[in-house]
Amino acid sequence: MKTSNALTVLVLLGAVGAGGYWLGTRSHGASTDAVLTRADAAVAPAGAASKPRKLLYYRNAMGLADTSPTPKKDSMGMAYIPVYADEDTASSGPANPDQIRISTDKVQRLGVRTEAASMRLLGQTVRAAGRVEPDERRVYAISPKFEGYVERLHVNVTGQPVAKGQPLFEVYSPELVSAQREYAVAAQGAQAMKGSGADAAGGMQQLADASLARLRNWDMSAQQIAALVKTGQATRTITFRSPVSGIVTEKKALQGMRFMPGDALYQVTDLSRVWVVADVAEQDIALVKTGAKASVKINAYPDKVFEGTITYVYPTMKPETRTVPVRVELANPGYLLKPAMYADVDLNVGGKAPVLTVPDSAVIDSGTRSIVLVQLAEGRFEPREVQLGARTDNHIEVRSGVRAGEQVVVAANFLIDAESNLKAAIGGFGTPPAKAGAAQAEGAASGAAVAPGAAAPVGHQGVGAVDSIDAKAGTVSLNHGAIASLKWPAMTMEFKVANAALLQGLKPGAKVAFEFVERQPGEWVVTSITPVTTQPTSR
């Protein structure tokens, strides 16, 4: 009886074990099928879950022009990415390994914007520093041509405005008095000898004409000469008047001083029009042409812009600064522009015919070549190498590589480029598995896309401190520790960032953990950066 019970127990235990093994096998198979189903759903396009996908080839994960019909890895150990027919083709044409295919939801999340390449008159501005100078043709010196003495000053301060014909000073000169008397005597003699012989009358008239010419050469006015002819009396002093309306910019005359012929006693400058001489850099001088318009700004009047015209490009260069002076002439209402003032000059130069242009944000400059992403269809882009020409603040001339009317990416183009080159190294936006949740949030913050089916970004990790930030260039300098995956020692180096949003909130000195990849040989791009907070030690 005991033996029979023991046998019964053993049979029951065996049955239970067999049943448990069978149930475990079914559960494992079901779990595996579920995982495979989710993986297929992650990579299969919408509406094609039941239809097998056609594999075209495997492409290099770093965007290099290398494909393979079979799975393989590159020299860095990164697996090649499969490309399917429904990924690489659009309704308009066959597959092309040089094109970039991104799903619609990723395009929307990246914030991609496009704009058509168009023909436009591309004006260009050359900026230069300059200084205000008086117009050399409007500067007048008052210099007596005879020896004498300053008898009286009518204008006795430098900087005083004067009108044309206004008396400046009076002088006394013995030579001038003698010349007046000589002319008076000669004029009277010529008048008296009109009835005598022709030779005697002619000689006396020549003497009178010579005396008159000397008075005129000594700058006696017509009114003074007429009074001398009428009265026959020599005036003791002669008055010098301003030849132009302007400002007395120099005064050497003093009351009672003696002067010699040629001494510049006064200088009057007409400042109604002035020059601005701008120093243009050597590389820009070929663009500057006479007749072009120029805008001048003065620090003293920040709300005013003075318009002028380029009238002369000087034929010499300053070797110290490698600049060429360029003259701009402009009006000076109210005498606001003072000689020797500093000026900021914008010279408007450029071609006269429309050229093909794209917005400057459309160009990705790697340092050795320039790339533009052209949108061929929705979610499909083609990188084109372009030759660039003249630039303005907002547009760049494209000489080859793009046709008029083609849509070029003007926003998030770097992220599209990063998506194509780093697809295997960065997390994805819409990955369903819960494991990719953290990577998805991190990728959304950085603007980078995660490869379908990737549980976490594949790249290099490091920890360090922020040394400096250049938001304009989109770079960050990190003082990081050793990078084991690259066998790097601790150092300070500069990284590009995949998205400018990664720099928000960062400050020099902050401790951070970061991930990065090599986008191109020698070009390291940070795809994720997170501040590290030091936890207090519990006691």
Residue 451 lies in a domain: no
Give Dmax over CA atoms of the chain in angstroms: 190
Residue 317 lies in a domain: yes
| CA dihedral sign of residues 417, 422, 423, 427 | negative
Residue 158: what pLDDT?
A: 93
What is the residue range of 463's domain? 459-531
> 118: Cβ–Cβ under 8 A, 6 or more apart, which residues?
356, 357, 404, 405
Shared-domain flag, residues 405 and 502: no
The number of folded domains in the chain is 6
DSSP 73: B
Shared-domain flag, residues 518 and 480: yes
In this structure, what token pair is assigned to residue 165? 């014909």
Of 326, 350, 374, the residue that ends a domain is: 350
Residue 415 lies in a domain: yes
Q: What tens digit of pLDDT does each residue of 267-307 get?
A: 999 999 999 999 999 988 888 989 989 999 999 999 999 99
Residue 400 backbone dihedrals phi, psi, to 5 degrees = -160, 155
* CATH number of the domain to which 471 belongs: 2.40.50.320
Shared-domain flag, residues 165 and 221: yes
Residue 447 lies in a domain: no
Residue 84 lies in a domain: yes
447 and 499 in contact (C-beta within 8 Å)? yes
Residue 410: what pLDDT?
A: 87
DSSP E strands in 40-121: the ranges are 55-59, 67-68, 81-84, 100-101, 113-116, 118-120
Residue 57 parent element (H or E): strand 55-59
Distance CA 117, CA 121 (A): 13
Q: What tens digit of pLDDT does each residue of 92-145 get?
A: 344 455 677 777 777 777 778 889 998 887 777 889 999 999 999 999 999 999
Distance CA 337, CA 340 (A): 9
Residue 445: what pLDDT?
A: 37
Rounded (10°) angle between helices 174-192 and 198-217: 150
Residue 426 lies in a domain: no
Question: Which burial class, exposed, middle or buried, applies to 454 when counting CB atoms under 10 A from its CB (0-12, 13-18, 19+)?
Answer: buried
Question: What tens-digit pLDDT sequence spans the chain (539 residues)?
Answer: 444 444 444 444 444 444 444 444 444 444 334 333 333 433 344 444 456 777 878 877 655 657 788 888 877 777 888 877 665 443 334 445 567 777 777 777 777 888 999 888 777 788 999 999 999 999 999 999 999 999 999 999 999 999 999 999 999 999 888 888 888 888 877 777 776 667 777 777 888 888 888 888 888 888 888 888 777 788 888 889 999 999 999 999 999 999 999 999 999 999 999 999 999 999 888 889 899 899 999 999 999 999 999 999 999 999 999 999 999 999 999 999 999 999 999 998 866 678 898 998 888 887 778 888 898 888 788 888 899 887 777 888 899 889 999 999 888 766 666 656 544 333 333 333 333 333 343 443 334 344 343 333 447 889 999 999 988 888 999 999 998 888 788 888 899 888 888 888 888 999 999 988 887 777 888 888 988 875 544 44
Residue 339 lies in a domain: yes
Q: What tens digit of pLDDT does each residue of 226-279 get?
A: 888 777 788 888 889 999 999 999 999 999 999 999 999 999 999 999 999 999
Shared-domain flag, residues 156 and 257: yes
Shared-domain flag, residues 331 and 368: no
Shared-domain flag, residues 495 and 524: yes
Shared-domain flag, residues 157 and 246: yes
Shared-domain flag, residues 206 and 238: yes
* CATH number of the domain to which 117 belongs: 2.40.420.20
Shared-domain flag, residues 158 and 105: no
Shared-domain flag, residues 380 and 470: no
